[in-house]
Amino acid sequence: MATLASPLAHSQSACSSDNQPLPSALFERFINADCDTCWRDPAAPPAPRDALALDWIVPGSRGDDAPLAAAASTDALARLAELQVARPAMQTQPVSAIKGWPKAALRVAHGPAVGDYMGLLIALSLPQSSALALPLSGWVVLLEALPVGTEGSSVPRYLVRNALQPLWDKREQLSNQETLSFNDLRAMGIPQGVDARRLRVASWVQDAHGQILTAVQSACQPEDKN
């Protein structure tokens, strides 16, 4: 994909999930890297309204010779395994409901790209509850938002460029705590050729049963040109 060969651009300024609407579902499009037509499929399903959309390129049987190999990620295989979904021969689009845990607060924030890395903050707070199925785990994904027409795509794409998982694997008992809170500072590598102006960070937290409790995605404020 030619998009992968474009030069790294200057990044945006302050970006966070603050004041962004909470998604009601996680919509994931998985494309096998062997499928040279799947990205351009005119019947590609658009993301449902109010969903957090992700596009994963799954490593194929042709390895580095696959048409979409440059964007393929082993994280896609890990995510499919977690969903208990087989690697697609062409493409598949599972949808996961987001439960919406009462008073849960998840936040992501990141600064501009510095070289080949981006620093980010992930913070989680949620109330103690005996109904909470521990351990909690989480994903943080670095997305490149690609408009309609990119490499012939008929829909906007949110291509996963990097992932951290699991972010949290917390087994602490909550009996003596009113609130469960975590903060993580991380650095995520930016693959060569990514347009940093299009980067976003998304995150979700799930319980021991894989039920998504909450999810967020960052948005960036326009740069002040004055």
pLDDT of res. 169? 58
Average pLDDT, rounded, for the chain: 89
Tell me the pLDDT tens digit for each residue of 30-81: 999 999 999 999 999 999 999 999 999 999 999 999 999 999 999 999 999 9
> Domain map of the chain by residue range?
15-217
Q: Is the pLDDT of residue 3 over 60?
A: no
**Angle, alpha carbons 139-25-183 (nearest 5°):** 30
Q: Find, among 96, 192, 201, the residue nearest to 158 by Cα.
A: 201
Question: For the chain, what percent of residues have pLDDT higher than 70?
Answer: 87
Q: Which CATH architecture has domain 15-217?
A: Sandwich (2.60)
**Angle, alpha carbons 155-158-163 (nearest 5°):** 155
CA distances from 132 to 25, 207, 220 (A): 20, 7, 32
Q: Is the pLDDT of residue 174 over 50?
A: no
Give the predicted TM-score (pTM) of the model.
0.89
Could you tell me which residue, 226 or 222, shows the higher pLDDT?
A: 222
